[in-house]
Structure 1
Amino acid sequence: DRPQRVPLEHGDVVVWGGPARLRYHGVLTLKQAQHSLTGACRYNLTFRRAR
């Protein structure tokens, strides 16, 4: 499959699981800007269920 670009904006959430979690993925670097709440930061959260 060819890579697909998906534009993300402030407040967007990306969720995937199952077989899709093994696909290659990446997030482009941030543009130079300041957000009123987070400054020049991006937060990445990963949740996994322990068994």
Structure 2
Amino acid sequence: MSEWLRFHQAHARMYLEVSEVDRWRHHELKYWVGYEERKAQEIAARMRSTTA
């Protein structure tokens, strides 16, 4: 689970950085930032619930 969490967090950062450079696809990339952040939050919540 922790590997998937790092995966989604890294992809969110990458999409955010690219969105600042690629203004033509800025809004599409911002969508993917949100998607990856939501996936990371879901995984973090699952990790918390299994350790509690």
TM-score of the two chains, using structure 2 as the length reference? 0.28
TM-score of the two chains, using structure 1 as the length reference? 0.28
Relative contact order (C-alpha < 8 Å, sep 6+): which is higher? 2
Name whichever structure is richer in helix by fraction. Answer: 2
* Structure number with larger C-alpha Rg: 1
